[in-house]
């Protein structure tokens, strides 16, 4: 396979073509910002899993302009640098190269909570302080960095790169993408300077040119520099592809060793952070365009965790390396499994951003919805049982299958009962739309893993309390899931289906369909129906802007709203259907009755826990545990993590 062949970036040879893309690793470093054992364990897992080149989270080259950076890793600190040396040694022991991503800083997109009161954020010019999750207009203006400050900041790249090389880093990557400070200098929309750092497109590259020259002078001309940037921002007034391709040519002239190509910025954040709705290899076409006009090695990125898509990217000549981000969080053994032909054992990435990005936002360590051990490699390692025990798991959804997996790996004799004819639970309707195919991949992965671990599975087994008690397992985990509440209509005709029924294969009557419910399930079901050719309207008790607001991640929410708009789905806010007539639906909107043309209704209401068995066994003296949706209907991440934590902690 091409993906497993050695590759070269400047003077550096990499054992294969897989790069771990830089991602925030918040919560993993030590309180003083240094990289301790936990930080090393997180990256070492990916190196042991076969990755050829690992890029760390962004490291500030200077702490002079953004006060919060003083709590982060500092290349000027000898103590911090010693911890980088330990990381380099750990990765090198697995034949993996270390790339340190260097950043000029956030600039106008610095997270508002970390900006001290009374301090103005900085930018290439005086720009609006921007946050994708805060209303426009409430944030202060950024001040323009002075010429002297810009020059000093550019020189800092040289010092930082030199220090990194001295302790074993194999190369550096410059963080020139996504609208961060270096990108702000490069972009006319945010750079309106009149000194040497702004004006023409050539002068807007002065800051990058000086930073690259400083690295070459201080770290050595033979020290590889990877430059990551977006060839377009997909933003009015931002960079267009023509300029992005011109920048590739200019960066090659400056002497960088490779180009890492992506797209987007904070205003179009669903591009640099591709949501679960984005297709595989979502930005490879952009890498291909750069490949055609540059002689440098090109690194492609963007939902390339699918082995076939990654391999095709290389064999089709669209890029020379592939960068994986979240796919290495869900499965750090990705490369080893590809190399040994075990691609069916790769845990997929759902693109949910909830275990990785959202964990950082709420102040928890970077992790993964489907792989709780990520970011917790040391403290959440599974310990073998001291003596043989039996474990009965009731329910074959994600919570139950994760509980069974942890039990089997710890040494339990595990039996799994499932009431239906297949494992997966509510993952099946969740994965029905073609834009949610990753969930179907996850079901297949879970099912094969369950059989591979030789877990005894009994289908069509609807358990009673007597069944559980007579089985006599040492421990019992109840993961009986949840069902949708009944539609609130007396007329239970075939014209009324639930969203779960529709997503399980039933088709609503007629052409015009009213989806009742503006949550995630209602919104996704509406999109699914439009792709079936239906004319769909969503009624919601909410305001139109609050559609699917349960989506934790703003990248996924923004793309979903774009899809709703593109599909021309009508949204009726503050609207509650009351009854069906022979020719439509009567609803209440803002206190008045309204007639809606609809042939049928799809009810996307709340889920309710199936907890009768839990209640019947609640006095079982600490040997029976309830997990997942039968406790509280929630996200896939909550189901998986509850199964993992519960069985991991059984003594």
Distance separating alpha carbons of residues 243 and 273, to the nearest angstrom: 22
Q: Average pLDDT of the chain?
A: 96
pLDDT of residue 622: 82
- More confident position, 591 or 513: 513
Q: How many CB atoms lie within 10 A of CB 591?
A: 6
Closest CA to 167 of 62, 61, 90: 90
pLDDT of residue 582: 82
Closest CA to 402 of 45, 49, 646: 646
Specify the residue for token string 């590259």: 205
| 514 neighbors 598 (Cβ within 8 angstroms) | yes
Confidence of residue 621 (pLDDT cuts 50, 70, 90): confident
pLDDT of residue 544: 86
* pLDDT above 90 for 502: yes
Give the tens place of pLDDT for each residue, 50-73: 999 999 999 999 999 999 999 999
Give the tens place of pLDDT for each residue, 374-410: 999 999 999 999 999 999 999 999 999 999 999 999 9
E runs forming strands in 68-169: 97-103, 122-123, 143-144
Nearest-10 crossing angle of helices 554-566, 520-531: 40
Q: Which long-range contacts (CB under 8 A, 24 or more apart) does 426-429 make?
A: 426/397, 426/481, 426/482, 426/500, 426/607, 426/629, 427/397, 427/398, 427/636, 428/503, 428/504, 429/499, 429/500, 429/503, 429/504
Confidence of residue 369 (pLDDT cuts 50, 70, 90): very high
* pLDDT above 90 for 545: no
From its phi and psi, is residue 622 left (phi > 0), alpha (psi between -120 and 50) or beta?
left
| 475 neighbors 650 (Cβ within 8 angstroms) | yes
Give the tens place of pLDDT for each residue, 315-329: 999 999 999 999 999
Domains of the chain from N-terminus onward: 7-115+146-325 (3.20.20.70), 390-484+608-648 (3.40.50.720), 496-605 (3.50.50.60)
Give pTM, 2 decimals: 0.96
* pLDDT above 80 for 137: no
Give the tens place of pLDDT for each residue, 76-85: 999 999 999 9
pLDDT of residue 492: 59
* pLDDT above 90 for 580: no
| 185 neighbors 101 (Cβ within 8 angstroms) | no
Residues acting as catalytic residues: 180
Lowest mean pLDDT among 38-42, 302-306, 331-335, 491-495: 491-495
Distance separating alpha carbons of residues 29 and 58, to the nearest angstrom: 13
pLDDT of residue 491: 60
The percentage of residues in the chain with a pLDDT greater than 70, rounded to a whole number, is 99
Tokens of 42: 């997180």
Report in angstroms the alpha-carbon separations of 556 from 43, 197, 312, 560: 26, 35, 26, 6
pLDDT of residue 505: 94
């Amino acid at each position: 396979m091409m993906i497993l062949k050695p590759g070269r970036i400047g003077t550096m040879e990499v054992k294969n073509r897989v790069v771990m893309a830089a991602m925030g690793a918040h919560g993993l470093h030590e309180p003083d910002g240094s990289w301790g054992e936990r930080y090393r364990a997180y990256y070492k897992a990916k190196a042991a899993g076969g990755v050829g080149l690992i890029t760390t989270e962004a490291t500030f080259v200077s702490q002079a302009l953004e006060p919060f950076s003083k709590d982060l890793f500092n290349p000027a600190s000898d103590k911090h640098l010693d911890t980088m040396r330990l990381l380099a040694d750990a990765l090198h022991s697995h034949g993996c190269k270390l790339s340190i991503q260097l950043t000029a800083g956030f600039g106008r997109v610095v997270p508002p909570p970390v900006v001290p009161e009374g301090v103005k954020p900085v930018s290439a010019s005086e720009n609006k302080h921007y946050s994708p999750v805060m209303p426009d207009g409430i944030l202060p203006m950024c001040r323009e960095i002075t010429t002297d400050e810009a020059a000093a900041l550019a020189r800092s790249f040289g010092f930082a790169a030199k220090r990194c090389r001295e302790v074993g880093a194999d190369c550096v990557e410059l963080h020139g993408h996504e609208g961060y400070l270096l990108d702000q200098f490069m972009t006319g929309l945010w750079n309106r300077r009149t000194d040497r750092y702004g004006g023409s497109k050539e002068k807007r590259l002065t800051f990058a040119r000086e930073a690259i020259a400083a690295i070459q002078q201080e770290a050595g001309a033979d020290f590889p520099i990877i430059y990551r940037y977006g060839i377009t921002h997909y933003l009015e007034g931002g960079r267009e592809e023509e300029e992005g391709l011109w920048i590739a040519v200019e960066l090659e002239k400056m002497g960088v060793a490779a180009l890492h190509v992506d797209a987007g910025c904070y205003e179009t954040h669903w591009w640099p952070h591709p949501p679960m709705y984005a297709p595989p290899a979502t930005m490879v076409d952009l890498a291909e365009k750069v490949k055609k006009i540059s002689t440098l090695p090109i690194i492609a990125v963007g939902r390339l965790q699918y082995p076939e898509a990654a391999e095709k990217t290389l064999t089709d000549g669209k890029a020379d390396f592939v960068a994986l981000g979240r796919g290495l969080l869900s499965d750090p053994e990705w490369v080893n499994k590809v190399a040994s032909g075990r691609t069916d054992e790769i845990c997929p990435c759902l693109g949910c951003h909830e275990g990785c990005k959202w964990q950082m936002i709420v102040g928890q360590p970077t992790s993964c919805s489907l792989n709780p051990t990520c970011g917790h490699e040391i403290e959440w390692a599974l310990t073998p049982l001291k003596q043989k025990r039996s474990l009965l798991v009731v329910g074959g959804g994600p919570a139950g299958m994760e509980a069974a997996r942890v039990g089997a790996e710890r040494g339990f004799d595990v039996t799994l009962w499932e009431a239906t004819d297949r494992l997966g639970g509510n993952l099946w309707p969740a994965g029905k739309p073609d834009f949610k195919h990753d969930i179907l991949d996850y079901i297949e992965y879970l099912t094969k893993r369950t059989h591979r671990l030789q877990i005894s599975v009994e289908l069509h087994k609807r358990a009673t309390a007597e069944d559980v008690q007579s089985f006599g397992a040492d421990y019992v985990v109840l993961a009986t899931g949840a069902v949708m509440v009944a539609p609130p209509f007396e007329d239970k005709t075939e014209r009324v289906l639930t969203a779960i029924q529709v997503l399980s294969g039933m088709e609503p009557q007629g052409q015009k369909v009213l989806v009742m419910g503006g949550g995630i399930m209602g919104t996704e079901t509406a999109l699914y129906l439009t792709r079936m050719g239906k004319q769909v309207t969503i009624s919601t008790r909410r305001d139109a802007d609050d559609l699917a607001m349960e989506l934790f991640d703003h990248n996924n929410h923004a793309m979903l709203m774009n899809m709703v708009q593109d599909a021309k789905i009508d949204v009726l806010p503050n609207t509650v259907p009351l009854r069906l007539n022979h020719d439509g639906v009567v609803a209440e909107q803002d206190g008045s009755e309204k007639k809606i043309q609809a042939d049928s209704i799809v009810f996307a209401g709340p889920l309710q826990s199936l907890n009768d068995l839990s209640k019947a066994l609640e006095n079982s003296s600490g040997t029976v545990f309830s997990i997942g949706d039968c406790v509280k209907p929630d996200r896939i991440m909550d189901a998986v993590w509850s199964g993992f934590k519960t069985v991991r902690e059984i003594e």
